[in-house]
Structure 1
Amino acid sequence: MILLMLSTLFPLNTAAQRDTKLGLPEGARARFGKDHITGNITYSPDGTRLAIASSIEIWIYDAHSGEESALLAGHMGWVLSVSFSPDGAILASGSRDGTVLLWE
């Protein structure tokens, strides 16, 4: 029951984890991030970028190529949530350290 509730609360996250647009051979899987992924993954509204929350950083990837495009560091605790603004210009991140940061 809890898993069902979580999957309906975070539909973008689960969709991001199943992305198959990277042009990899069938059966191959892409690995994103280089640290502990905290479970929050989201696409930009236009679908071109993928933001992945980790222990104290946020990894930004090109959603089509899978290439890392940015590493956002500034939190002092685990990054628990990431969300793009409706126009995709700003990324908001929330951390266990009690801060919310806005990234352009």
Structure 2
Amino acid sequence: MKLRNTLLSIIFATFASVVVGCGAKGNVSPDVKDRKAYSLGREHARRVIAVSDDEAALQDALLDVRARITNINDRLGPQASADYERGFVDCITEEEDSLAKVLF
């Protein structure tokens, strides 16, 4: 369990650095502007929750989310990537409290 928490903390730190980096590139509203990106983030959070008992699958899913944030930022801009990340975080926080405590 301690190893899992350590690995998840490392993955989340990497994940958070990408999110912060994406947000710094432009003016990002604190409000959700891109509902489609937000919904996609929530959908991907549900996938992460579904595999949260399998550490390897969880790590892969979190890395996939990180890659999606970068891709969304590059293709659609910082607002869309911030909204995707908000949807992801909101869903994890609302639906899986124990995972949220480890990640956030």
Bigger fraction of residues in helix:
2
Q: TM-score, normalised by structure 2?
A: 0.28
- TM (norm. structure 1) is 0.28
> RCO greater where, 1 or 2, for CA within 8 Å and sep 6 or more?
2
Comparing both structures, which one devotes a greater share of its residues to strand? 1
